[in-house]
Structures are given as structure tokens and as C-alpha cells.
Amino acid sequence: MVQSQSLSTLTICGSVQDYSSWRNRVKFVKSPGLIGDRCVSCQFFSRSSSLRSHWKSVKQRNMMRVEARWPFQGGDQGLDPNSERSESANEDILIFFFQLDLATRVQCALNMEQYDIAQQLREKLTEVEEEAIRLQELKRGSSSKSEAQDKGISIIRLRADLQNAIDGEDYGLAAKLRDEISKLEAESLAVSAKALAFENAEYVFRLGQKLKHKAFGYRAVVCGMDPVCCESSSWMEAAEVEKLPRGSNQPFYQVLVDVRTHPDLLVAYVPEDNLLAPEKPDKERFDHPYISFLFYGADTAGDFIPIQQLREKYNKPRHEVPFDSQDED
């Protein structure tokens, strides 16, 4: 029981560790009064410090919550909101924050004519951007076309070997080759389908939109999206994705969860089947530490307006709220 409790604590606190590990991977250039977590000239730095303080307090609170409720949890209570917790989705957001942080540091150095420091920071920013692109390509399968071609070539060769085995009446080898061909064909089809899904993705919901979870009832805001589930098979099994009407082959959304109702669930990875748009504009208060980093503010319908960098990340246009003459009355 002690070991399981420790693992649960580490899982819940993963977001704090992810951010720390990412900051440690880049060695910041320090200059008195210019570059640092307390740079007065850059408002973003003070907000970053505030956010990290919030993560620390959330970590401590989560550890106490886990320790308090662990003895009373059973094994057959079904899914809860934590089943859709995604450390990879949270890490994706943290990397995005890291890019914004470094870009702001570069601009701050340029404004203060510290060009050598700006150049060093720009090099670090390039490293982070390259890593972010690599992770994005890995998730989206950007190399899927070449991978599918490689598998196709392998299938052609195996079919030639299969024919030779049949001609030589080596039916044991022929059966083995036939199974291998079937496996490669299935993998090639899956790779091609995933690449096609990203190219022709259609989403019901948009960045910044306020939604409600159908099963758990919490309010959420969309901050990212994938055309299919990009989580691991173990995560999908734990979240019982296969029981959904459309399974894993549907859009999945990174959503921020209102911390007033679920303070220990910052980011969830939710299938489109489990989300519902409110019938009327949701203009109620929504609390989350990431909101001020990812959005400019709320529009007249109560949804949030994503910052330009977030829209560019997902190649989405700015949503314009339809004009309603009754708003002027």
C-alpha cells in the first residue's frame, strides 16, 4: 500500500516535476538587473514566478489529499475525473510556456541592448523550439508518409520471400511470412490513417471555448486539440477509451479544469464524445492559473480569446463572436 501511495503522489505531482526538468535542461544566462526570474522590466517573469508558486502549493495540497483519501479508495468505484489526467498534455502546455518565457527574455535583452545575452538566449530558444517541433511531429506522425512507404517496400520484399517459400514447399516459413505481412499491412494502414486524420481534422469545439464534461460535470476551457487520441495504449486502457462511441478515432482536447471544483486536476485530455457546449453563453467566473498566460481575456459570449501564439500553434483563426443587436439594449 505504501508503494502504491507513493506512485499516486508522483503521478499527481508530475506537472511540477516536468516544468522543473524542462527549465533545468536549458542553462539560463544570468545578468544582474536584466535576465532572471525577478526581472522587473518583463511582466511575464513575475507572472511565471507566481505560476511556479501556485504549482508548488498545488503539489503540497495534492500530496495531502492523496494521503488522506487513499485508505478509503476501493478498486471497483469506476472512473473519476482523474482518469483523464494527462501528464503529456500538461507537459505540452509547459513547453509552450517555456517558449513564451524564453522569447520574452530575448526581447527584454534586446530592449536593454544586451545583444550578447539576447543571442545566447535566442540559441536556447531555438533548442526548445526544435524539441517542441520534434515532439509535435512524433505525436502527429509527420513522418508517417515515409514510414508508410518503408513498410510498403518491406511488404513487397516479404511477398517475394513468401512466394519463394511456397515454391519451395516450405509451408512453415510461408505461414510465418504471411503473419508478418499481415502485421505490417495493419501498421501501415494505421500510420497512414493517423497522418490523414491530422491533415483533414475537423473539430466541433474551438480554442478558448467553455465546455462541460458530460460524465463528471466540471466546467472546462479548450486550450489544445488532436484529431485522434495521441496518448499511450496504457492511458487509453485506464481511461476506458475503447468503450466510447467513437473510441480513440475522434478529436481529443486539452482542457483546463475550473480549480474551484477540481483544484488538483489542472489539465485533462478529454474525447469529444465526453464534452458538451452550454446551451446558453457561460459568463460565470472561471478560475485557473494558466488562463492569463494562454488567453487575452473573455469575449462577449463568455468564452476566452486565445493569444496569437496559441492560435498559430494549432493553425486556427481568431473566432469572431456574431454581432447581436440585443447586446446594445
Q: Specify the 3-state DSSP secondary structure of 237.
A: helix
DSSP for 26-43, please give it.
Answer: S-PPPBTTTBSTT-TT-H
C-alpha cell at 37: 526570474
In a domain, 322, yes or no: no
Give yes or no: residues 133 and 167 share one domain. no
- Asked if the model's pLDDT at residue 64 lies above 80, the reply is no
Q: Is the pLDDT of residue 44 over 70?
A: no
With cut-offs at 50, 70 and 90, classify the pLDDT of residue 301. Answer: very high
Q: If residue 67 lies in a helix (H) or strand (E), which one and from where to where?
A: helix 43-69
> Would residue 328 count as lying in a domain?
no
Taking residues 42-67, what's their average pLDDT? 45
CA end-to-end span of the chain, whole Å? 62
Residue at a domain's end among 140, 168, 191: 140
Task: Specify the number of domains making up the chain.
Answer: 3
Both 97 and 50 in one domain: the answer is yes
How far is 45 from 104, CA to CA, in rounded Å? 8
Does 87 reside within a domain? yes
Residue 145's pLDDT band (cuts 50, 70, 90): low
Same domain, 135 and 149: no
> Whole-model pTM?
0.66
| End-of-domain residue from the set 124, 140, 156 | 140
Residues 245 and 312 in one domain: yes
What residues make up the domain containing 242? 210-316
Is 325 a member of any domain? no
Whether residue 133 is found in the same domain as residue 183: no
Report if residue 324 sits inside a domain: no
The maximal CA–CA distance of the chain, rounded, in angstroms, is 86
* Average pLDDT over all residues of the chain: 77
Pick the closest to residue 106 from 177, 41, 21 (CA basis).
Answer: 41
- Whether 132 and 18 share a structural domain: yes
Establish if 46 belongs to a structural domain: yes
> Do 52 and 24 fall into the same domain?
yes
| Per-residue pLDDT tens digits for 163-203 | 998 999 899 999 999 999 888 888 777 766 666 666 677 89
Give me the mean pLDDT over the 246-262 stretch: 94
Tell me: do 46 and 119 sit in the same domain: yes
The answer to whether residues 40 and 127 belong to one domain is yes
Question: Do residues 150 and 113 both lie within one domain?
Answer: no
Torsion of CA 221, 226, 230, 236, to 10 degrees: 50
164 and 108 belong to one structural domain:
no
**Does 323 fall in a domain?**
no
With bands split at pLDDT 50, 70 and 90, how would you rate the model's confidence at 99? very high
Co-location of 136 and 162 in the same domain: no
